[in-house]
Copies of this chain bind each other. A is one copy, B any other.
Amino acid sequence: MTPTLGDPGFLLPERKARIDEVVAHRTRTLTVVMETLCDPQNVNAVLRTCEAFGIQGLHAIEGPMKRYDPNKKISQNADKWLDVRRWGSTRECLGFLKADGFRIYATHLGQDSVPLGDLSFAPKVALVFGNEHRGVSDEAAALADANFTIPMLGFVQSFNVSVAAAITLARAVERRVAERGRHGDLGEAEARALRERFYLLAVKQRTRIAKAERAEARRERHAKARGE
């Protein structure tokens, strides 16, 4: 049977294998919470970093007027492959995660803060990164199971938020492998569902590219026909 547009058979075997490999490294037991980030460049850099580290689900807590606005160039379309859930308040978001069994670790310098290296990633963990100017809210710091800092050796007081997320996730992935045996850990049914979803996304992408190529070829033929 000839594969039709929209059919996963339309995908090259290499593309399918690549998707299967990515899904094998995906997890929902480590997640990231962006609390009222305001710079789209930062949001997109965090999305891109999360995607690269196999984080499937993220949470965006939005201020009264803020909606994150994915920039395709900076995120490298990373958001297309992720589940970003939007929340109206910190309380709702962290409450949901706690009820779902997540330990909450917030990047916050307080009296009881511990260095990143001391955190355990054996449990399900949600990492909270705060606003570029104000840091995490008092509410998030109070609701967190642990507040942590990334050790800094110089004069600057903080890392850029996407830098902080990257350093933290690199460490988290390493610790998860040491403490849980592996990082990617979707159940079989969930992995299958995600593969199917990614196949479809990839087919749509191919279809768009194929359409664009046909349109371009048409333009060229017409241009030739007009003797241009």
Please give the residue numbers on chain A whose beta carbons come within 8 Å of chain B beta carbons, in ascending order.
18, 22, 25-26, 41, 45, 48-49, 51-54, 74, 76-78, 81, 150, 152-160, 162-163, 166-167, 170-171, 173, 183-184
Alpha-carbon gap, A138 to B41, bound state (A) = 29
Name the residue on B nearest A116 (C-beta).
B170
A49 is contacted by which of B77, B78, B155, B159 (Cβ under 8 Å)? B159
Minimal beta-carbon separation of A97 from chain B (angstroms): 22
Minimal beta-carbon separation of A168 from chain B (angstroms): 9
Alpha-carbon gap, A158 to B25, bound state (A) = 16
**Given A159-B49, A160-B162: A183 touches B153 (CB 8 Å cut-off):** yes
A153 is contacted by which of B54, B77, B153, B166 (Cβ under 8 Å)? B54
B residues near A153, Cβ cutoff 8 Å: 22, 25-26, 52-54, 173, 183-184
**Given A170-B170, A170-B171: A154 touches B52 (CB 8 Å cut-off):** yes
4 nearest A-B pairs in the assembled complex, by CB-CB distance: A25-B153, A54-B153, A51-B154, A163-B166
> Can you show 24 pairs from A to B with CB atoms below 8 A apart?
A22-B153, A22-B155, A45-B163, A48-B156, A48-B159, A48-B160, A48-B163, A49-B163, A51-B155, A51-B156, A52-B152, A52-B153, A52-B156, A52-B159, A53-B153, A76-B157, A77-B156, A78-B154, A78-B156, A81-B154, A81-B155, A153-B183, A163-B166, A166-B166
